Amino acid sequence: MTDAAFNTHPRAGTRIPAGGGRPWPRRRRRGLVNVLLTVAIAAVVISGIVATAVVVNNNVRAQQARLLIGVAENRIRQIYATLPQFDADMSGVVVTGMPSNAIQSQGGTDVIVTPWGGLIAAGGGATPGTGVASGNRFWIVVADLPEAACESIAQSFLNNNTVVGIQVLGDPTDTFTAMTTDAAIQAFDTPAEIQAGCDGGTDDRVGIVYRS
C-alpha cells in the first residue's frame, strides 16, 4: 500500500488508513463497555422482577380460588344442614353467597368463576361433574386452572377430614370417576400424584368430593 493511502495524525504523526476515522481513546471504549454491562444487568433484573410478579400474581389467584371453594362448601352445608339430601345441581344455590367479582352471567344464568375465568360448579353425589341427589356426598369442581394452581389447590385438600377424595384432570377429554372405591379415593392422595395429574396447560380441573 502506498503512502497516499494513509493519512498522518496531526499531533502524533500516527499513520492511519485513509477514511478509517480516528480510533476511540481507551477511556471512552471502557466507558462504552460499562454502559453496555449496566444495560445488560438492568435487563436481567427487570426480567427477574417480571417473573417474580407473575408467580406472586398466580399465587394470589390460587388463594382467591381456594377461598371461593371454601365459601361454596360452607354455603352448601348451611343450606342443606336440615334437608334429607343434597340436590343433583347446586351451582345456582351457592352463587348467592359469592362475592360479586366471582359471579358472571352466561346465557342469562349467573355462574361462579375463578380469577382465571374458569367455572366453579357444585352438585350431589360421589362423581365430580356428574350430579345426583345424595344423602351423604357432594362435590365441587374447579375448571380451567393453570398447572401450578391445579397443584396448589388440590394439595390444600389433602388430609382434610371433610373430604372423601380429590381428583385432578390435565386432559380436557378425560372425565372424573366415582370416588366410591379405595383405588379411586387414593389415586391422588399424595403431592406427587397430584403433580403428575396436573399438566402444563391452562385447562386443568380439580374435583373434590365431600362427606356430609
pLDDT of residue 66: 96
pTM of the model: 0.74
For the chain, which residues make up each domain, given as ranges?
43-211
Cβ atoms within 10 Å of 137's Cβ, excluding its own: 21
The string of pLDDT tens digits covering residues 23-37 is 666 666 666 666 666
pLDDT of residue 49: 47
Which among 208, 201, 127, 149 has a CA at the least distance from the CA of 170?
201
Residues of the chain with pLDDT under 70: 1-56
Q: Which residue do the cell numbers 367479582 mark? A: 101
Which among 116, 115, 189, 198 has a CA at the least distance from the CA of 150?
198
Which among 45, 46, 33, 211 has a CA at the least distance from the CA of 137?
211
Q: How far apart are CA 120 and CA 95, in angstroms?
A: 10
Q: Which residue do the cell numbers 365441587 mark? A: 140
pLDDT of residue 23: 65
pLDDT of residue 199: 87
Cα–Cα distances (Å) from 12 to 8, 27, 134, 185, in that order, read 8, 18, 98, 87
Domain formed by 43-211, architecture: 2-Layer Sandwich (3.30)
